C-alpha cells in the first residue's frame, strides 16, 4: 500500500510538473522572441531654395460685370508681372474665384454695398534674391491679400 501511495504521489508530482511547464513554456518562448527597439531624434536644417507666395486680388463694384472685369484685369497684370520676373507658367496658378454681394446692415434696413470678386493666385518663386522686389511689385499691381 505504501508503494501504491508513493506511485500516486510521484504520478501527481509529475503531472503537476508537466502542467507547470506547460503554463510556463509560452512565457519562456515569448521572452525568447528577438526584438530590436530603436528610438531617436534628429534635426535637419536646410537653406530654403524656393518660396511659395499665396496671394489674392479682390475688387468690388455695384455692377457685377465691372467688378469681374476689374478683377480679371488685375489678375492678368499679376501673371504678366510673374512672367516679367521669368517665373515659368507651371509655377503660376490661379484658383478659386469667389463672387458675392455685400450689404451694410443697419437697424432697420440693409444697404447694398456692391459685388465683391476675389481670385487666388499662387506663385512659386525659385530665385529668392527676387523675393522682396517681386512682392512689392505684386502689391503695386493690385494684389490686396498675401498669406
Q: Tens place of pLDDT for every residue, the chain, 147 residues?
A: 677 777 777 887 777 777 777 777 666 666 656 778 899 999 989 888 999 999 999 999 999 999 999 999 999 999 999 999 999 999 999 989 999 999 988 777 889 999 999 999 999 999 999 999 999 999 999 999 998
Q: pTM of this prediction?
A: 0.65
Gap between the Cα atoms of 31 and 21, Å rounded: 15
Sequence-separated (6 or more) residues with CB below 8 Å from residue 97: 71, 117, 118, 119
Domains and CATH numbers, the chain: 51-146 (3.30.70.2970)
Amino acid at each position: 500500500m505504501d508503494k501504491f501511495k508513493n506511485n500516486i504521489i510521484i504520478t501527481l508530482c509529475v503531472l503537476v510538473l508537466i502542467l507547470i511547464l506547460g503554463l510556463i513554456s509560452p512565457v519562456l518562448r515569448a521572452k525568447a522572441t528577438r526584438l530590436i527597439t530603436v528610438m531617436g531624434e534628429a534635426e535637419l536644417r536646410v537653406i530654403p531654395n524656393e518660396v511659395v507666395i499665396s496671394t489674392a486680388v479682390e475688387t468690388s463694384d455695384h455692377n457685377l460685370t465691372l467688378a469681374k472685369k476689374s478683377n480679371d484685369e488685375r489678375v492678368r497684370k499679376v501673371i504678366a508681372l510673374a512672367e516679367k520676373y521669368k517665373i515659368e507658367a507651371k509655377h503660376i496658378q490661379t484658383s478659386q474665384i469667389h463672387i458675392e454681394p455685400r450689404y451694410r446692415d443697419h437697424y432697420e434696413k440693409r444697404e447694398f454695398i456692391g459685388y465683391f470678386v476675389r481670385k487666388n493666385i499662387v506663385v512659386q518663386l525659385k530665385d529668392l534674391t527676387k523675393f522682396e522686389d517681386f512682392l512689392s511689385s505684386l502689391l503695386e499691381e493690385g494684389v490686396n491679400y498675401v498669406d
